Structure 1
Amino acid sequence: MSLGRESAVDRLETLIETIEHEPTPVPVREVWVYGDLALGLDPIDRLDVYLTKDILLENDAASDETFYEEHGVRGVGTAVDADWAASNPDAVRANEHGHVAPERCLAAHLLAGDEPIHLEVCNASFEDNVTQRLRGARLRDDYTQLLDPRGVCLWVDGTRSSEAFEKLRESAFAMPTLSASLEMLGMDESEATEAARVVHAWREDQEGVTVRGDVV
């Protein structure tokens, strides 16, 4: 399943409208798109979206206990908003340890399961996390953890970039190759080439909605 560029841009607009007009499990501060759509490909195999979220600073122990008793999931009222969870119990998602996972809740709320969309969620801004993930990937020798640095900021704190959307529709962003981008971040040519190969191979293996979250 692929998306035409126009359809992909439309999908980003509806995603942002949902964030603007509906309660979300955690506050969202920024929306970025990166990868194929930012490069101007048409059609694209996958739509890569990055959300910068706030860490919820609540301690609603009563909601946590109530939701655990009813659904067997911890963290509602502390890691995700209790009112949102009460209104959207079918969208509450937990990690392997039974604790609510904000990034999975966001994916469940914003996306349909069969859409070819990858969602990255972090409390750090896109540009800061590109650097952080690069450092971590090199330390662990795991290039699948890299975040493609070729990103476009679409929405920040309630303000949408009309210019960014217009350029996406017109395929007007000039972007280097992934390996060249990684070289700009400090990799030598051979490492950047291998890292780009691994990232492309990892992306080709993904199907439907995928989500990854981290905290910096």
Structure 2
Amino acid sequence: MTGFDRSDAVDRLEELVDTVENDRMPVPVREVWAFGDVALGLDPVERLDVYLTKDILMRDDSANEGTDGSDEPDPEARFRESHGIEGVGKSVRADWAAEHPEYLRANAAGHAAPEKCLAAHLIGDEDEPIHLEVCNSPFEDNVTQRLRGAKLRDDYTQLLDPRGVCLWADGVRSDEAFRKLRESELALPTLSSALEMLGMDGDEASAAAKELHAWREEQEGVTVRGDVV
């Protein structure tokens, strides 16, 4: 798939928000943002960029399992045995994993990876041009954090495009944001100008924007990136 017609891109965003609203997620989701091409009003939208703010699962709110004195193994042991994946009930909800084992995904170390589980649940196996960013920090805070990290590492592919719009937060959908997306009403600057507003000088902002654009053009299909602040 090479991209979305603009109306299809906004429809897809609405579907994602519907899923977050109506389905039990592997971890609690607090915010859904759209950024990049779709926020800029481009048509077609080459890649659909979505940002999720999620909670770190400090305590699983699933119904207690395997702790009632029965011989039934606890969720982590059960999924370690059945899927070879650690951390169910610690990094992702046990009841979610039990209901959606087909969406359970692990990182390279074999532990349940919330960002990959979210991508599997929200997007599935469709080869759509969607990039998903997942973090425990709100979008606007993480823009600043990622800018700082990118400058320290001299790696501008780590930047988070600051030109975003909040679609859903703490259970409330922004119908106005969706209307503005559909009608291409958002007035947003170029990426280099947006980076200058965050404190970069002109030359650095231009170089950073060029590097980030080049990185995005190399991406294909569904991509997901998760970080913890």
Question: Where on the TM-score scale, by shorter chain, does this alignment land: which range?
Answer: over 0.9
Aligned to 2:218: 205
Q: Which letter maps to 2:168?
A: W
Q: Which amino acid counterpart does residue 142 of structure 1 have in structure 2?
A: D
- Alignment of 1:47 onto 2:48: yes
Instruction: Establish whether residue 191 from structure 1 lines up as the match of residue 204 from structure 2.
Output: yes
Can you give the 5+ residue segments of structure 1 that lack an aligned partner in the other structure? none
Choose which of 78, 82, 95 in structure 2 pairs with 1:70. 82
Q: TM-score by structure 2 length?
A: 0.92
1:108 aligns with 2:120: yes
CA distance in 2, matches of 1:107, 1:74: 18
Is 1:122 paired with 2:135?
Answer: yes
Aligned match of 2:147: 134
1:89 aligns to 2:114 (yes or no): no
**Aligned equivalent of 1:37:** 38
Give the counterpart letter for 2:29 in structure 1: V
What RMSD over aligned residues (CA atoms) do the two structures have, in Å? 1.1
Q: CA deviation at 1:197?
A: 0.5
2:2 is the alignment partner of 1:7:
no
Paired amino acid for 1:91: Y
User: In the TM superposition, what is the alpha-carbon distance from 1:58 to its structure 2 partner?
Assistant: 2.3
What SS is found at the alignment partner of 1:212? strand
**More deviation in 128-137 or 107-116?**
107-116
Structure 1 residue 56 displacement after superposition: 1.0
Q: Which runs of 5+ in 2 are unaligned?
A: 67-73
In the TM superposition, residue 48 of structure 1 has moved relative to its aligned partner by 0.2
Q: Which amino acid aligns with 2:23?
A: E
* Alignment deviations for residues 2-33 of structure 1 (CA, whole Å, 9 cap, x no partner): 10111011101111111111111001000000
Rounded Cα–Cα distance in structure 2 between residues aligned with 1:118 and 1:215: 17
State the partner residue of 1:177: 190
- 2:178 corresponds in structure 1 to 165
Shift >6 Å, 4+ stretches = none
Letter in 2 for 1:154: L
Q: Alpha-carbon deviation of 1:153? A: 0.4
Give CA-to-partner distance per residue, 1:105-136, whole Å, 9 cap, x none. 00000003301100000000000000000000
The share of aligned pairs that are identical, in percent, is 69
The corresponding residue for 2:27 is 26
- Greater alpha carbon shift after TM alignment, 99-108 vs 52-61: 52-61
TM-score calculated relative to the size of structure 1? 0.98
